[in-house]
Structure 1
Amino acid sequence: MKKVVLITGASAGIGKATAIFLAANGYTVYGAARRVDRLNDLIPLEIKVIPMDVTDEDSMVNGVNQIINEEGKIDILINNAGYGSYGAIEDVPIADAKQQLEVNLFGLARLIELVLPKMREHHYGKIVNISSIGGKMATPFGGWYHASKFAIEGLSDSLRNEVKQFGIDVIVIEPGGIKSEWGQIAMDSLIKTSGNTAYKTLAGKFSKAFEQTVDKNPEPVIIAELIKKGIEAKKPKARYSAGYMAAPALFMAWFLPDRLKDKVIMSQVK
């Protein structure tokens, strides 16, 4: 019997690539997104599309219930929905900070709550949380984004040891740079928020440095392949990473003292 997968944020980037890749490899895939019109091209690929806003309780409950009613189960949840709210911490309105956490963290956590009962009932499940190398080390201007991803790392560690007894695995994916619309949205947010404040000079340098890395980013299918590797492993690792600068960034996060790490990061912002 085919495994049933729910992927949030399936309208672009990693989410869309993963939906397509898993469907092509024999999974029953439900692609969910707030922008439903951007899911239409998934339908001919035998991917089932559902509207879902991870900041809306009814939307999440209805989506999960629809899948369970149609399939009787959700075997794999891939929490991919998210974005980067960039700007100096002093400049970012707290309302925007709360929205960042609502999408990247609390929506993820609520979906986990909704799928766990059926996973426990079947004594099987894979929960894949898309974090980032930005969940292990932080750059200027990404404070609230990094806060959300650091939180996902800790939440996943706690959850992993809670649900292991029920035959459920929790897997964290830590992408580095990947070709997607994420970067442009984040940089637009940065310039809008801090492009005309006391931080404008550093913000301009940061945006320029970021844009110079875009061409080095691999296609998002590299993360789809990593997810497939994790969900098909008999004993999956707690974390998998891939993408531009993923390995060196995680090495620095693990081994370098904070002061030296800061110097390395800021040396790239010229």
Structure 2
Amino acid sequence: MSPSRAVLITGVSSHSGRSSGTGRATALRLHRAGWPVYATGRNLDGLKDLAEEGITTLRVDVTDEESMTAAVDRITEEHGAVGVLINNAAYSLNGTIGETPLEQVHRQFETNFFGLSRMTQLVLPGMREQRSGRIVMMSSIFGLFATPGRGYYQATKHALEAISDSLRLEVAPWGIKVAIIEPSPILGSFVPTTVGDLDLATDSDLYADFWERFVRWHGAYREVDRPKGRGRTAVRAARVAEVVEKAITARRPRIRYRIGIPVRLLGPQRAIFGDRAWEAFVTRFFPQP
């Protein structure tokens, strides 16, 4: 019996009802390439367009054990196992380290880290049984370094990088392969238009000027059709989906797929610059308090 090719993608829709750029693009690309795709998210209304394309949609909240188990059980019943898991579910928590309530930090890690960890645990028995499987971890350029204002979000991506390296070695004996996707900033993704969009949990005015600069800085990534300035170095969701397809089809996938010029340059630059020079670069390039 051939190993399962069923693809489970998390985080294709959010509470807001909008489908995520990379999740939606990946679901469509793989579906059109003939993969049996299960696009999941917290809000099924946000997945209606994918269902109309013939993609199976499921309500899955990666902070809810029952919904995750039900999805894996259904795919296992229909295909024998989850063949490919794409851990895409995530959101970006904005806030300074000292002012963000810890309950919000817990929620950030529950979605971006513990949720994907549990989903990975749930699919592994089936993958081990068929001695085959692919797990794709959606990281970020900010899995490589951190900046002011999004430290807790960036911490989840750093954590994802670490467990991915451990997992890849632990599951190799069963023919299971793990790849990390590290995109440069994605056009239209997590881009605020006002300070109110940041959903900050504090009324403190300690960083009021900083948050205004933070929103203006991210404006470069808002324009999807004709990006300007820094936005021209960002990547599109369709490009990320293309790389995900490579990661699940390559006989020997890369450990890390770095997408776009910024993520390819910044890793080596940090090693060359050293800590002080690197921090000077971050201070000059990114908005600062």
TM-score range, shorter chain: over 0.9
- CA contact 2:193–2:219 (8 Å) conserved in 1: no
Amino acid at match of 1:90: G
The aligned residue for residue 276 of structure 2 is 259
Output aligned runs, 1:198-217, within 5 Å: 198-214=206-222, 215=227, 216=231, 217=234
Q: TM-score, normalised by structure 2?
A: 0.87
The aligned residue for residue 149 of structure 1 is 157
- 1:30 equivalent among 30, 38, 61: 38
What's the offset of the Cα at 1:19?
0.2
Q: TM-score, normalised by structure 1?
A: 0.93
Distance 2:109 2:34 in 1: 33
Amino acid at match of 1:91: E
What's the offset of the Cα at 1:257?
1.4
The aligned residue for residue 168 of structure 2 is 160
- CA contact 1:194–1:200 (8 Å) conserved in 2: no
Partner of 2:192, secondary structure, is helix
Work out whether 1:9 is the aligned partner of 2:17. Answer: no
Distance 1:52 1:260 in 2: 44
Q: 1:152 to 1:185 in 2, by over 3 A?
A: farther
What's the offset of the Cα at 1:179?
2.3
Work out whether 1:76 is the aligned partner of 2:84. Answer: yes
Distance 2:176 2:248 in 1: 11
The aligned residue for residue 259 of structure 2 is 242
Deviations 1:83-132 (A, max 9, x none): 11011111110000010000000000000000000000000000000011
- CA contact 1:126–1:231 (8 Å) conserved in 2: yes
Q: 1:205 to 1:56 in 2, by over 3 A?
A: same
- CA contact 1:130–1:172 (8 Å) conserved in 2: yes
Amino acid at match of 2:61: D
- 1:223 equivalent among 233, 237, 240: 240
Partner of 1:192, secondary structure, is coil
- CA contact 1:8–1:31 (8 Å) conserved in 2: yes
Structure 1 alignment gaps of length 5 or more:
none
Distance 2:75 2:194 in 1: 32
Amino acid at match of 1:161: L
- CA contact 2:26–2:241 (8 Å) conserved in 1: yes
Distance 2:45 2:210 in 1: 37
- CA contact 1:178–1:244 (8 Å) conserved in 2: no
Work out whether 1:183 is the aligned partner of 2:191. Answer: yes
Looking at secondary structure, tell me which structure has more helix per residue: 1
Output aligned runs, 1:112-131, within 5 Å: 112-131=120-139
Q: How many residues align?
A: 270
RMSD over aligned Cα atoms: 2.0
- CA contact 1:13–1:220 (8 Å) conserved in 2: yes
Structure 2 alignment gaps of length 5 or more:
13-18
State the identity as a percent.
37
Distance 2:259 2:196 in 1: 25
Distance 2:28 2:194 in 1: 25
